[in-house]
Amino acid sequence: MEVVPASVGEACRRWDDERLHLQSAADGIGAAPTDGFTGEVAGTAGRFTAAWTRLAGDLGQDCGRRADGLRTALAEAVAADEDAAATLAPYLREVR
């Protein structure tokens, strides 16, 4: 059986953090004001911020998938190894 070290749990939490960071980045892009541009530019600026809100959100979801993947590995390790459970079980909970 493959050994799953505690660093996997730490990385899992970091990926969760990155998901939040990218979501806040997406929110920031979405909130960026576009009404200061001239009429010739404002529409394109709005399309840009809308597109990048999605792009940043997609990157955030990617981070979430990485965290979920690591949680799966952690869960399997916890289920298979009682000794590992004590160390790894706390990481199974999605903190944020």
Contacts to other proteins by CB under 8 A: 2-5, 7-8, 11, 14-15, 18, 20-29, 31-41, 44-45, 47-49, 51-52, 55-56, 58-59, 62-63, 66, 69-70, 73, 95-96
For the record, the structure tokens of 84 come out as: 């590992």
Helix (H, G, I), strand (E, B) or coil at 58: helix
Helix (H, G, I), strand (E, B) or coil at 5: coil
Least distance from C-beta 70 to other proteins, angstroms? 7
Least distance from C-beta 42 to other proteins, angstroms? 9
Residue pair 77/88 in contact by the 8 Å Cβ criterion: yes
Least distance from C-beta 86 to other proteins, angstroms? 18
Nearest to 20 by CA among 68, 63, 51: 63
